[in-house]
């Protein structure tokens, strides 16, 4: 499993995120803020962002976090709290998540993409909540795979988001995105994504396989583990083997 060693030289950022920040750094030297959009321009930008959110099947909060921003970033723009255009550094990162050209979000291009070049994709299946037993179906959206985390010979097909410190001992922390390999068979020591069923209730979590059919957390000191159900039989299914974990938002902050 990799924690993404192919990072850029500046603060450990992936190369594509680092490249996206370069014009932003230059812009800071020449201007203190981005221009305020006219009401017509703001309405058009909001329309385009909503259109792309619907296309990729993500909420504004999820898309903002995947691009490395606070979860309110896009909601503030869509709700009219933010009147300025997206910064030069933010545009490529938001466009990557929304699977469109940056120029489309800069309102200089009428269509989302200039060409039909295929971007590697993975399915975002939602958050992992150990002990969060419920009947809700997890979100299933398609998102791009950031080029800097592509591993030759390995197909990444699903992404999950960790929400706690139950795997801190494996270097996986709250807020990280966990990428699983398509068709991989787990071995002892692998971090795997589990679907656990107890009657009508489901729980999705990431744990370390210690033996066939046996899985454990590796929590941080002081991390309280979720209690197991007091009754009912738990059926466990492996959904994938984690090959990469990455917290883009933490690196950018």
Burial of 108 by CB count in 10 Å (0-12 exposed, 13-18 middle, 19+ buried)?
A: exposed
Superfamily of structural domain 33-105: lambda repressor-like DNA-binding domains (1.10.260.40)
The pLDDT of residue 151 is 66
pLDDT band at 48 (very low <50, low <70, confident <90, very high): very high
The pLDDT of residue 32 is 36
Looking at every residue in the chain, the average pLDDT score rounds to 77
The answer, yes or no, to whether residue 25 has pLDDT greater than 60, is no
In this prediction, residues 190-195 reach a mean pLDDT of 95
Cβ(57)–Cβ(140) below 8 Å: yes
What residue spans in the chain does CATH classification 1.10.260.40 cover?
33-105
Q: In the beta sheet, which residues pair with residue 142?
A: 123
The pLDDT of residue 245 is 79
Share of the chain above pLDDT 70, in %: 72
The pLDDT of residue 142 is 58
The pLDDT of residue 253 is 29
**60-112 pLDDT tens trace:** 988 888 888 888 899 998 988 776 667 877 888 898 888 888 899 988 889 88
What residue spans in the chain does CATH classification 2.10.109.10 cover?
121-252
CA distance 141 to 188: 30
Measured between its terminal Cα atoms, the distance across the chain in Å is 24
pTM more than 0.75: no
Cβ(22)–Cβ(14) below 8 Å: no
CA angle 193, 15, 25 (to 5 degrees): 125
Q: Collapsing DSSP states into helix, strand and coil, what is residue 84?
A: strand
For residues 126-164, b (16+ Cβ closer than 10 Å) or e, as one string? bebbbebbeeeeeeebebbbbebbeeeeeebbbbbbbbb
Lowest pLDDT segment from 141-145, 149-153, 173-177, 220-224: 141-145
The answer, yes or no, to whether residue 11 has pLDDT greater than 60, is no
CATH number for 121-252: choose from 1.10.287.110, 1.10.580.10, 3.40.50.300, 2.10.109.10: 2.10.109.10
Lowest pLDDT segment from 40-49, 50-59, 114-123: 114-123
The answer, yes or no, to whether residue 10 has pLDDT greater than 60, is no
CA distance 236 to 202: 10
**231-249 pLDDT tens trace:** 889 999 999 999 887 764 4
CA dihedral 45, 32, 64, 86 (to 10 degrees): 20
């Amino acid at each position: 499993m990799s924690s993404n060693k192919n990072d850029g030289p500046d603060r450990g950022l992936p190369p594509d995120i680092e490249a996206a920040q370069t014009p932003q750094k230059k812009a800071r030297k020449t201007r203190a803020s981005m221009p305020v959009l006219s009401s017509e321009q703001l309405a058009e930008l909001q329309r385009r962002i909503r259109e792309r959110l619907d296309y990729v099947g993500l909420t504004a909060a999820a898309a903002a976090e995947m691009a490395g921003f606070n979860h309110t970033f896009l909601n503030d723009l869509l709700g009219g709290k933010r009147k300025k255009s997206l910064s030069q550094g933010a545009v490529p990162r938001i466009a990557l998540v929304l699977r469109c050209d940056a120029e489309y979000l800069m309102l200089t291009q009428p269509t989302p993409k200039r060409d039909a070049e295929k971007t590697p994709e993975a399915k975002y299946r939602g958050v992992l909540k150990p002990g969060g037993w419920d009947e809700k179906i997890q979100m299933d959206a398609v998102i791009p795979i950031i080029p800097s985390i592509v591993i030759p010979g390995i197909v990444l097909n699903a992404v999950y988001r960790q929400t706690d410190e139950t795997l801190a001992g494996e270097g996986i922390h709250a807020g990280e995105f966990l990428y699983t390999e398509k068709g991989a068979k787990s071995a002892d020591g692998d971090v795997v994504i589990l679907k656990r069923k107890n009657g009508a209730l489901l729980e999705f979590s990431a744990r370390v396989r210690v033996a066939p059919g046996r899985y454990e957390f590796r929590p941080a000191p002081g991390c309280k583990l979720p209690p197991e159900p007091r009754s009912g039989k738990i059926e466990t299914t492996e959904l994938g083997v984690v090959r990469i974990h990455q917290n883009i938002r933490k690196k950018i902050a």
